[in-house]
Amino acid sequence: MKKTGILNRQLSKVIASMGHGDYLVIADAGLPIPLDMEVVDLAISKNIPGFLEVLNSVLIELEVKSAIIPIEMKTYSFQIYNSLIKTLKDKKVTEISHEDFKKKMIFARAFVRTGEFSPYSNIILVSDVVF
């Protein structure tokens, strides 16, 4: 049995399969995910698990180069936005419209659906290499 890190078998496998420049989307409960995409659905109930909890767990295991977020997060989910910016303080974070976000997210290797009920709490993590 795995002792630490992400215990979810599917999410652990997705992270292990990520290559340089691949996209991983961590989504709130309401983001429309294309039907043909791989989804790691962690949502149990309202805000369980939360967006930030999942993001922090993923960041322990995934080498991240940069991130893309919807600009609307700053207005509609300010507390999550502030926490996210602090968490990613050493990474480039690009803010784009939610509509442009949905256009970029179709290139993701996988989606991680959380139980987050805060609007626009979505992120595209761009993976990096560890060497």
Residue 7: strand, helix, or coil: coil
Partnered with residue 66 across adjacent β-strands are 92, 126
What number of other Cβ atoms are within 10 A of residue 103's Cβ? 11
DSSP state of 112: E
In the annotation, is 98 catalytic? Answer: no
Name the catalytic one among 20, 46, 92, 103.
Answer: 20
Backbone angles phi and psi of 45, in degrees to 5: -160, 180
CA distance 111 to 64: 16
Residue 122: closest CA among 44, 23, 46: 23
Active-site amino acid positions: 20
